[in-house]
Structure 1
Amino acid sequence: MTAETNFDAVARRLSTQAGALAVAWATSRRLAARRDGARWRNAGLLWPLFAKG
């Protein structure tokens, strides 16, 4: 049994996910600094890896 893995594709997906997490984290921190409760109502900030698009 052999398994072939396209490591370029894996690295690309991980990089995309890391970028989404970084953007969500920075946005959440900015809203927290302003004491804006909207950060708890934004699904993209709560679950950044599960957002559509």
Structure 2
Amino acid sequence: MTGAMKAETDFDALARRLTANAAALAVAWATSRRLATRQNDSRWRRAGLVWPLFAKG
């Protein structure tokens, strides 16, 4: 087949991105839980806790 597309997947890069996302979610979850136990409602106003996987700015 001439002109066929060849698909390549970089599973190492995928694993790194998934690991980074999991770490960001874990930090956001732990911080939110800590604030919740202190009955601090500012956790709902912190973008990094509400949307931890979205880039800032």
Report the TM-score, using the length of structure 1 for normalisation: 0.93
1:22 corresponds to which residue?
26
* Identity, % of aligned positions: 74
Give the CA deviation at 1:3: 1.0
Report the Cα distance in structure 2 between the residues aligned to 1:18 and 1:52, rounded to whole angstroms: 18
State the match for 1:11 in structure 2: 15
**What residue ranges of structure 2 are gaps of 5+ in the alignment?**
none
- 1:51 and 2:48 equivalent? no
Higher helix share: 1
SS of the residue corresponding to residue 53 of structure 2 reads helix
Structure 1's consecutive aligned runs of 4 or more residues displaced over 6 angstroms after TM superposition are none
User: When the two structures are superposed, what TM-score results if normalisation uses the length of structure 2?
Assistant: 0.86
How many pairs align? 53
